[in-house]
Amino acid sequence: MKTVRIDIKEAAEFLRENDDYLILMHTSPDGDTLGCGTALCGALQRMGKKAKAVCPDDVPEKFNYLFEAVEEQEFEPKTVVCVDVADTKLLGDMKEVGDKAELCIDHHVSNIDYAKRTLLDAESGAACEIIYYIIKELGVEIDKAVANSLYTGMATDTGCFKFSNTTPQNHRLAAEMIERGADFVDINYAMFDMKTPGRIQLEQSALKTIRYYANGHIAVIFAPLSMVESIKGIDSDDIGSLASFPRKIQGVDIGICVKEKKKGLYKVSLRSSQKVDCSVIAQKFGGGGHERASGCSFDEGTIEEAALKVVEACEEACREAGII
């Protein structure tokens, strides 16, 4: 199916004309997909529409406050909208539902154009920025609960406004959310500083697995299933947080985290410096994402084999960039 690319006005018009919305957020949910889903759902409900925001995976407890923007409604969904979802493979068990999407709102350059209509802005630091402009076009007042959702997406996808995708516009929109009552102090603590005892234990175990390649320009960290299952009180967000660790090491241009999601299924997260576009590496293995943060999956072999395949591609990228 060939998608039709639309703009903010056309997306808002579509949302006005339809009803009974099922808003899908991606698996291993982060602050941006959850912020998009709850903000858009809340805005549509405030227009008198019926809408529900659904994630295929369990939502980590620290994000519970986002659902204060949403009322529970019982109805039969008719219109599927995907937010911050570049590929229906990211919808897990709800992939078939996502394949019927009427609208996709996204900021990933790797979006595969699966929906009937796609609103894509790869220049936006967070998909929540796009949702903000849609809500404004719809004429819905952004209250504190919706502001919390939008701020969360903007802050998390920019790494609290310190990643390379941060722009003056990020800051202006975040400032407006604060003016509208967003609990930025509590949100930033929960997103960037707070750690459960389980997460601390997971980090301690995972850091012992770090390996270096390409004279220290590439670092890999592992989270095998045996490690994850041995630690109580952790969730998908705790496991996902490991992705950022290798790139924090001085001299590392590409950080790789290999997580075993279930027996024989491995998720690889890549983070890179501005010298390398890690989305190109991820695409070689059927994945995608952003220039500085991408991912892919493997469903065969061992966790070691998955890591080595990606390391080989990263070494090639480093040679092409003149790093090694």
Could you tell me if 282 and 301 are in contact, meaning their C-beta atoms sit under 8 angstroms apart? no
Residue 24, classed as helix, strand or coil, is strand
Of the candidates 296, 208, 290, which has an alpha carbon nearest to the alpha carbon of residue 245? 208
Provide the CATH number for the domain around residue 260. 3.10.310.30
pLDDT value of position 188: 98
Average pLDDT, the chain: 96
More confident residue, 35 or 261: 35
d(CA 179, CA 147): 9
Tell me: do 111 and 20 sit in the same domain.
yes
Tell me: do 115 and 128 sit in the same domain.
yes
Query: How many other CB atoms are found less than 10 A from the CB of residue 7?
Result: 12
Tell me: do 188 and 136 sit in the same domain.
yes
Instruction: Give the mean pLDDT of 287-301.
Output: 93
Q: What's the pLDDT band for 309 if we cut at 50, 70, 90? A: very high
Task: Classify residue 99 by its DSSP letter.
Answer: T
Whether 59 has a pLDDT exceeding 70, the answer reads yes
In a 10 Å sphere around its CB, with 0-12 CB exposed, 13-18 middle and 19+ buried, how is residue 83 labelled? buried
Tell me: do 13 and 108 sit in the same domain.
yes
Tell me: do 149 and 201 sit in the same domain.
no
Over residues 170-221, the pLDDT tens digits come to 999 999 999 999 999 999 999 999 999 999 999 999 999 999 999 999 999 9
Over residues 232-264, the pLDDT tens digits come to 989 888 998 999 999 999 999 999 999 999 899
Query: How many other CB atoms are found less than 10 A from the CB of residue 274?
Result: 10
d(CA 60, CA 134): 27
Tell me: do 146 and 236 sit in the same domain.
no
Note the pTM of the prediction, 2 decimals. 0.90
Give 210-265 as a DSSP string.
-EEEGGGTEEEEEE-HHHHHTSTT--HHHHHGGGGTGGGSTT-SEEEEEEEEETTE
Domain count, the chain: 2
Tell me: do 145 and 103 sit in the same domain.
yes
Of 132, 162, 192, the residue at which a domain comes to its end is 192
Could you tell me if 306 and 255 are in contact, meaning their C-beta atoms sit under 8 angstroms apart? no
pLDDT value of position 237: 87
Of 158, 192, 226, the residue at which a domain comes to its end is 192
Of 192, 221, 245, the residue at which a domain comes to its end is 192
Could you tell me if 273 and 247 are in contact, meaning their C-beta atoms sit under 8 angstroms apart? yes
Tell me: do 160 and 278 sit in the same domain.
no
Provide the CATH number for the domain around residue 138. 3.90.1640.10
pLDDT value of position 2: 81
Burial annotation 29-44 (CB, 10 A radius, 16+ → b, else e): bbbbbbbbbbbbbbbb
Residue 180 belongs to domain spanning: 4-192
pLDDT value of position 1: 65
Instruction: Give the mean pLDDT of 74-98.
Output: 96
Dihedral Cα 15, 21, 25, 30, nearest 10 deg? 70
Tell me: do 201 and 298 sit in the same domain.
yes
Tell me: do 110 and 181 sit in the same domain.
yes
Tell me: do 299 and 220 sit in the same domain.
yes
Instruction: Give the mean pLDDT of 155-162.
Output: 95
Tell me: do 283 and 160 sit in the same domain.
no
